[in-house]
Amino acid sequence: MRSRCTFAIYFVTNTTKNIIVKILYTLLSGMIGICVVGCASTRSVHESTTQNADQLERQCAQNLKMIYVAIKAYQRSHHDVPDWLSDLVPKYISKTNLLLCPSQSVTATTYPGLEDPNIATSYTYDFCARQIPVTVWGGAPATMKDWKNRQRQVYGDAVPMIRCIHHDHVLNISYGGEVFESSVSWEQDERFARLAQGWNVGPF
C-alpha cells in the first residue's frame, strides 16, 4: 500500500513538473517571439526614418540648386546678388514653395536673426543686406553681404551662400554652386580652418 502511495505521489509530482515546464516553455517562446518582432519592428522604423530623412535632404539639395540658378540669373541682370531671397519672387522664382525645405511642413524658419523681411523661407541667405545680428559672431555694424564678400577673399567661392539648418548637419550651397555639408559654424570645420590660417575671418 505504501509503495502504491509513493508511486502515486511521484506520478502526480512528475506530471505537475511536466505541465509547469510546458507552461514555462510556452511563455518563454512567446516572450522570445515578441522580442524578435519588436526588434524587427524597431529596425524597420529606424530604416524607414533614415530613408525618409535622406530623401528629404536630396529634395532640399535640389531646392538649393534651383534657388542658386535664380540668384545667378538675378546677378546677370543686376550685376550683384540680391539683398534678399524674396527679391527673386516672382520674376526668377515663380513658386514660393521652392523657398521651403521639404522637412518643414508647417513653419518656415531660418537661422535666428537672418529672417527674410518679406517672405517666409526655410533657407538662410548669408549674402543678405541685414546688419550682422548678435546671433552671428556677436554682431557687427557691417552687413552680412559685405562680410561674406570679404570672406571670399580668404575662401574664394567656397563661402556658403544659402544654408539649410533643418537636417542633422547644415546643408549649404556655396557662392560657386557647390552643395556640401557642414557644421553651423562652418569656418571652424577642418576644410576651411586650413584655408584661413593667419587670417581674420570674423566680421570685425
| HSE of 87, CA atoms in CB hemisphere, 13 A | 16
The β-bridge partners of 163 are 124, 172
Collapsing DSSP to helix, strand or coil, 32 comes out as helix
Q: Is residue 204 part of a domain?
A: no
pTM score, whole prediction: 0.75
Contact 179, 171 (CB under 8 A): yes
For residue 15 the three cell numbers come to 506530471
Q: How far apart are CA 43 and CA 41, in angstroms?
A: 5
Q: How far apart are CA 38 and CA 82, in angstroms?
A: 52
pLDDT of res. 24 = 65
Structural domain span for residue 16:
2-195
Q: Is residue 170 part of a domain?
A: yes
Q: Is residue 160 part of a domain?
A: yes
Q: Is residue 176 part of a domain?
A: yes
Q: Is residue 48 part of a domain?
A: yes
What's the structural domain count of the chain? 1
| Pairing status of strand 124-125 against strand 160-164 | antiparallel
What are 99-114's pLDDT values in tens digits? 999 998 667 899 999 9
Q: Is residue 203 part of a domain?
A: no
What are 123-139's pLDDT values in tens digits? 999 999 999 999 999 99
Lowest mean pLDDT among 5-19, 22-36, 117-131: 5-19
pLDDT of res. 104 = 86
Collapsing DSSP to helix, strand or coil, 146 comes out as helix
